[in-house]
Amino acid sequence: MSAFCDDPPRPAVAADIVILCLREGALQVLLVRRGGDPFRGRWALPGGFLQEDEDLDACARREMEEETGVRPGRILQFANFSQPDRDPRGRVISVAYLALLRAEDVRLKASADAAEAAWRPLARTRNLAFDHDVILAAALARLSDEARADPAFLFPLLPPAFTLSRLQSVFELTTGRPVDKRNFRKLVEESGRIQPLEAFERGAHRPARLFAPA
């Protein structure tokens, strides 16, 4: 007699990805317009169902590559969403990921079940399909926490060489709070996470030294 008598429920599992970049001086999120039901025509986060031959990280990376045309470096699994009624098609558990990219590295393309893919400013992003408004809010809260713990978490949003002023502006943008320039510079320089370059950014003001991740 088999020791496994029960027939366990088999909910579907999906990965949804919050992909953020800096465009036009603001954080923007990658959204897809759904090409089929449910929520046909509504904007949603990119994502898809877990296939039998992959783990969740592989699923998230596959969906990202299909939506953006790039293979992401770091992805952060930050929460799961399992409300019974979150998907009208049935029981679906979503594992949510956060990815930061440089806009110039992304080649947008819609996937098979999406009619369109586009960057959207966060200020104009609401009323998403499923519970994706909740997922996006949770991702932004996690981004703020990660940035406060280690500003180097924000490096993927920046060009390969950047000024400390640029890093500070991105930090303030993602955490929603201003910081003292001198204290921030000291924190970052003493962290060992950056290295100075023999190059400067030149403009209307005093040339500013460029840095790169250490």
pLDDT tens digit sequence for 85-116:
999 999 999 999 999 999 888 888 766 666 78
Q: Is the dihedral of CA 48, 37, 127, 111 positive or negative?
A: positive
Architecture of domain 150-213: Orthogonal Bundle (1.10)
Catalytic residue among 54, 65, 116, 189: 116
Task: For residues 119 and 189, give the distance between their C-alpha atoms in angstroms, rounded to a whole number.
Answer: 33
Q: Find tokens 């981004």 and name the residue.
A: 143
Confidence band, pLDDT 50/70/90 cuts, at residue 1: very low
Contact 100, 20 (CB under 8 A): yes
**Average of pLDDT values for 122-139?**
96
12-148: CATH topology: Nucleoside Triphosphate Pyrophosphohydrolase (3.90.79)
**Average of pLDDT values for 199-204?**
88
User: Which pLDDT score is estimated for 110?
Assistant: 65
**Average of pLDDT values for 131-139?**
98
Confidence band, pLDDT 50/70/90 cuts, at residue 35: confident
16 has which bridge partners? 47, 96
Q: Is 146 one of the annotated active-site residues of the chain?
A: no
Residue scoring higher pLDDT (117 or 100): 100
pTM, full prediction: 0.92
User: What are the extents of the domains in the chain?
Assistant: 12-148, 150-213
Sequence-separated (6 or more) residues with CB below 8 Å from residue 200? 207, 208, 209, 210
User: Which pLDDT score is estimated for 113?
Assistant: 64
Confidence band, pLDDT 50/70/90 cuts, at residue 5: low
Q: Tens of pLDDT along 141-199?
A: 999 999 999 999 999 999 999 999 999 999 999 999 999 999 999 999 999 999 999 99
The percentage of residues in the chain with a pLDDT greater than 90, rounded to a whole number, is: 76
Confidence band, pLDDT 50/70/90 cuts, at residue 13: very high
Classify burial at 23, counting beta carbons within 10 Å of its beta carbon; exposed 0-12, middle 13-18, buried 19 or more.
middle
Least confident of 43-52, 63-72, 175-184: 63-72
